[in-house]
Structure 1
Amino acid sequence: MSKFRVTMTVLGLALAATTAWGAGVHPGKESIEKSGYKGPETCEECHPGSAKGFLDTVHWKHASKVTNVEGLNPKEEYGMKNRIYVMCNGNDIVNNLKEIPKSPVTGKSKFSGCNTCHPGNHLSDVGSTGAAAEAAVDCLVCHSTDYDFRQRKPFKNEKGEVVMGQDRSVKAALAIGKPTVKNCMVCHEAAGGGVIVKRGFTFTKETDAHAAKGLVCVDCHKAKNHKMPTGHDPNNWANDGVFVSCSDASCHGVKPHKDADLNRHCAKIACQTCHITRTGGAFAKDFTVWEQTPDKFYEPTTLKKEANETTPVYAWYNGTVKNAPHFIGPKGSKKDGKSKITPFKIFQGKAYYNKRTGELLSMDFAQPMSNGDTRAGVLSAAKTLGLKNPEKIAKEAVPGWQTIYFGSNHLVTKTKALYCANCHAPNGVLNFKDLGYTDKEILKLTSPELFMEKLAQKQKEDW
């Protein structure tokens, strides 16, 4: 076929796709019904190069170069592929998807791994490239509105390799559409070891004003070439180099209110501070003591609350992150001209530290999940990571706590947003002393004089 005919064919498919999408129907139905769905190969009939491009995204690599976190090598990539921190205390290297040792009680085993949400088949794993990796991409897990998530479970193939299943049925392929909340939240709501653990939010019309308006995740997180815009969460290091903010012109802009007084606040107060008044999820984990579950396996001791049950903590944040063995959180100050008062969910985790270096140690979950032996998990991880004298490291490892500040960016409310008296009062939600204000400034900031006339007038209008 000539280059001209190939070009015209692709152009024709693209035009057909545009027309069909405009009518709310994805093109290619007849072709899929006739030939079946063959994975990315089928998708690329209309979207050539998409699979290869996807391999360069955070969703596939679980890592990227990071420029706003202290102590990192700017030439290397960081993310769940290789990070060690106490929400997970492991990563894709140490806790790759595998079959754990059999339970000494039941004689049964199970599959476990940090990368079970990786959108591939596991044979072509995190960060892999090439034709096999491209063919392994699970396009439908994000793009099918009728995906059977029960098929996304690990199993052993005929070669004894651990494989992550996919739904590549014609039924799923015929239900292509814009990613739904479920497509996103199947992974993002269950991150960190269970539902509403890591992020501590649900995205429903009852819990989020955006969801109540009918918005879905990708209405704000609008990807281009599968590069996903994110916010600046102190704990969320890996990124695709594109970011989203409430103040973007395509969202609410820098002057989102009709009230000029409220708009002035936007210079020093993050939108989330007033409009995300609650959070939830795990607030403490102990990786040094694992509890036996009803199935006779073990899980780290975890304390958590439901969405909307926890009050955020407020701190100045300029987008840069302090990164220390016992603390990961926002950097910023009242005086730097870049920071805003921002809400955070605080999480504290207990794990093992290297006695000699003071660095946080990773843990291989296979051993403690089977029999509760946490130091055996530290030993296995130390061997996997090539640490010198792993037996000594595991034996002498010192338990300790790490505090992490998670960005509070969902559970948006309009009707229950903070207003003048919620903050500007002696018993208000903001601790002005901790935020760096002087006694004289605090006296002024906590006086009704600031808002008395305005709220009195509003009170008359409401009555």
Structure 2
Amino acid sequence: MPVLNKPLRWMMRWLLLLLASPLLMAGGTADHHKFEVLQQDFETLQQLNDACVSCHTEAPAQLHNTIHWRWQFEDKSGHLQGKLNVMNSYHPSVASNMDSCDNCHIGYGLEEQELSGIRPDGVVDCMMCHDTTGEYFYSKFHQDGAKCLNCHDDGAEALKEQTKNQPSRFTVTLTTMAQQVGMTTSSACGACHFHDGGADGAKHGDLDSSLLNASHELDVHLSADGASLTCSSCHQGNDHQMYGSRYQANSPIDDKGVDALNGARATCVSCHGDRPMQDERLNDHTDRVACQTCHIPAYARGGVATKTFWDWSKAGEKDRRRKPIIEYDEAGRVIYASQKGAMQYGETLRPEYRWFDGQITFAKPGNPVDPATAVMMTTIGGGAEQTNSKIFPFHVFRSILPYDSEEQKLIPMQLAGRGREAYWNGYSWEKSLQAGAEAAGLKFSGEVGFVETTMLWPLNHGVAPKEQALSCQQCHTGEGRLGRVAGLYIPGQNQSQLLDQLGRLLVILTIVAVLTHGTLRIIFAWRRKRNEPDN
């Protein structure tokens, strides 16, 4: 069988991707302006979405079975994983803050009970993903009663500057939105995924609004000067089930390729193969080094900062009139708020590197705490001895969280709600943790302490072109980037100063010995010649 040259292989791959995803080019096969059910003046968002599912009758059942709706899934061991069951270092628990967190859910005012036991007539929010006007997100959050601080939060002043040049909102009616639905856009995905964690770009480090108009140097995939892809170009699937969840991630060695039906699999190797570069010396690295390691040389580099540290123990301070305090940095980001404590941000940050097999174990409510060490809120699977692991870049986020100091275990805190038990209302950690413990089915001793936590987020976005990728010297030097990766030997980096000195000494002694030996041979040869009798 003839072997295709590289340019032809690339052409075939992209042709397969485009043929497998015709709707990305065509924008759909139906003109929604002509549908009679959409020829009405919608007064509420729910009326609009009811009209959607009157035709798309299977969509609710499909969505009810996805992690986007359930926020949880059952792993191979039968344990429940996902957002609804784990804790993080930001707003630590969804289950204890449903009154606030459910605003980002693809439904209306959901509670934990509905997520766990879905009603057949549960209303899905089709427009959240399929709006193409860019205005539905704003309508949803204002009409659906979301609290202002859900969005106008830690990036408050910075957000004002960011939106000055954006067009005014609420200029399109719900009817117009309904008639202009289409395939998902990066803007629709980013409405939730860019802004979680309290501000634009706050949480993940590689997901923020700068990707919507990315330059080629910032992201070769999303840039109009690059591949001009959207989020759904890689995060594809069938029946609303999508690839790429951090809770159900594919391995970095996933090389199953682009599926003719499902499209891309949200891994680099699935599209590019495992030897994508023209330089075979670089291809020799790809079995143990993920593409992201070299092609994401820094993150939060699009002009939007990400959070690096959050100290909840500092929360609760008020001014002399007992009013909450808020302080900003020079960029307009909140660095202190009475409701949240102290925060730090960073831009153009160097990743930290770990072996990674695609599996992440998240901390859960009730996990044990050793106050003498930082609590790992995410445990990364993989190791140097495992052939399914590659070296991968991570955003490291650190936080100081309250916990049950007597029982020494993690307890969720309730932040939002209408009662005084919500910390943002009553400023009582004891009441907040008591309510959080009840939401998680735990007992709380009443004793509150604070412990440092660490959370690792794998970096996949903000992929730089080869011109901005890491150079050989950035790894193969004494102070190289990969020096802290366990079980890794890198020529030129893993050096011992004592061994180097011994090596130099041996070289010097060898040279001295050779010179001495040569000199002695010359001397003795001269003496022999001198003592030889004349013939």
TM-score (ref. length: structure 1): 0.74
The answer to whether structure 1 residue 200 and structure 2 residue 239 are counterparts is: no
> Out of 301, 305, 314, which is 1:289 matched to?
314
Give the whole-Å Cα distance in 2 for the aligned partners of 1:408 and 1:417.
14
Is the Cα–Cα contact under 8 Å of residues 289 and 372 in structure 1 kept in the other structure?
Answer: no
Moved more, 77-86 or 31-40: 31-40
Are 2:341 and 1:301 equivalent residues in the alignment? yes
Deviations 1:164-217 (A, max 9, x none): xx9982111111112111100010011122221111232231332211122111
Amino acid at match of 2:96: V
- Within the candidate set 421, 424, 432, 2:473 is matched to 421
Matched residues in 1 for 2:197 and 2:273: separation? 33
Task: Please say if 1:237 is aligned against 2:247.
Answer: yes
Q: Aligned runs of 1:135-146 on 2, under 5 Å?
A: 136-146=123-133
Residue 132 in structure 1 maps to residue 184 in structure 2: no
Contact 2:393 2:459 in 1 (8 A): yes
Q: Do the aligned partners of 1:58 and 1:240 also contact (CA within 8 Å) in 2? A: no
Q: Are 1:384 and 2:439 matched, yes or no? A: yes
Q: Secondary structure at the match of 1:303?
A: strand
Letter in 2 for 1:272: Q
Distance 1:317 1:82 in 2: 23
Cross-structure match for 1:275: 295
Matched letter for residue 269 of structure 2: S
SS of alignment partner, residue 149 of structure 1: helix
Give the whole-Å Cα distance in 2 for the aligned partners of 1:354 and 1:24.
Answer: 53
Q: Quote how far apart the aligned CAs of 1:223 are.
A: 2.8
Question: Shift of residue 332 of structure 1?
Answer: 2.3
1:412–1:293 CA distance, 2 compared to 1 (3 A)? farther
SS at 1:257 equivalent: coil
Deviation at 1:377, TM superposition (A): 1.2
Counterpart residue number, 1:338: 388
User: What's the CA shift for 1:126?
Assistant: 3.2
For 1:370 and 1:23, the matched residues in 2 are separated by 46
**Amino acid of the residue matched to residue 457 of structure 2?**
F
Structure-2 residue corresponding to 1:148 = 136
Residue aligned with 2:310, SS: strand
Answering whether residue 265 of structure 2 is matched by residue 225 of structure 1, we say: no
Q: Report what 2:462 is aligned to.
A: 411
3-state SS of 1:126 partner: helix
What aligned pairs does 1:291-370 form with structure 2 within 5 A after superposition? Answer: 292-294=324-326, 298-305=338-345, 308-321=347-360, 325=367, 326-327=375-376, 328-366=378-416, 367-370=422-425
Q: Which TM-score applies when normalising by structure 2? A: 0.65
1:350 maps to amino acid? I
Q: Report which of the two has the higher share of strand.
A: 1
1:373 counterpart residue number: 428
Match of 2:371 in 1: none
Cα 1:182/1:252, change in 2 over 3 Å? same
Q: Structure 2: which 5+ residue stretches go unaligned?
A: 1-21, 146-169, 252-261, 301-305, 317-323, 328-335, 368-374, 417-421, 497-535
Cα 1:225–1:36 change in 2 (3 A) is farther
CA separation of 1:263/1:434 partners in 2, compared to 1, >3 Å: closer, same or farther? closer
Partners of 1:277 and 1:262 lie apart in 2 by 16
For 1:210, the aligned partner's letter is H
Q: CA separation in 2, counterparts of 1:285 and 1:275? A: 28
Where 2:437 maps in the other structure, the secondary structure is: helix
Is the 8 Å Cα contact of residues 63 and 239 (structure 1) preserved in structure 2? no
**2:102 and 2:110 in contact (8 A); partners too:** no
**Aligned partners of 1:140 and 1:168 also within 8 Å:** no
The answer on 1:180 being equivalent to 2:230 is no
Instruction: Give the secondary structure class of the aligned counterpart of 1:153.
Output: helix
Distance, in Å, in 1 between the alignment partners of 2:88 and 2:286 is: 32
Q: Which residue is 2:449 aligned to?
A: 398
How far the C-alpha of 1:48 sits from its partner, in A, is 3.0
Structure 1: how far apart are the matches of 2:235 and 2:198?
Answer: 24
2: distance between equivalents of 1:440 and 1:226?
Answer: 46
Contact 1:353/1:360 (CA < 8 Å) preserved in 2?
Answer: yes
Matches within 5 A, 1:425-436: 425-431=477-483, 434-436=485-487
Deviation at 1:35, TM superposition (A): 4.6
**Structure 2 counterpart of 1:28, from 32, 37, 54:** 32
Query: Alpha carbon RMSD of aligned pairs, Å?
Result: 3.3
Partner of 1:461: none
Distance 1:381 1:399, change over 3 A: same
Q: Deviation at 1:154?
A: 6.3
Query: In structure 2, what is the Cα distance between the partners aligned to 1:323 and 1:365?
Result: 21
C-alpha deviation, 1:95, in angstroms: 0.4
Would the alpha carbon gap of residues 237 and 34 (structure 1) be closer, same or farther in structure 2, given more than 3 Å must change? closer
Residue identity in the other structure for 2:468: K
Rg larger for:
2
Give the Cα–Cα distance (whole angstroms) in 1 for the partners of residues 474 and 102 of structure 2: 42
Once the two structures are superposed, what CA deviation does each residue of 1:27-51 show, in whole Å capped at 9, x if it has no partner?
2322245356644443345533111
Q: Residues of 2 paired with 1:197 and 1:350: CA distance? A: 16
Deviations 1:405-425 (A, max 9, x none): 111111110131112122112
Note closer, same or farther for the CA distance 1:355–1:20 as it changes in structure 2 (3 Å cut): closer
Structure 1 Cα separation of the partners of residues 272 and 475 of structure 2: 23
Aligned residues: 384
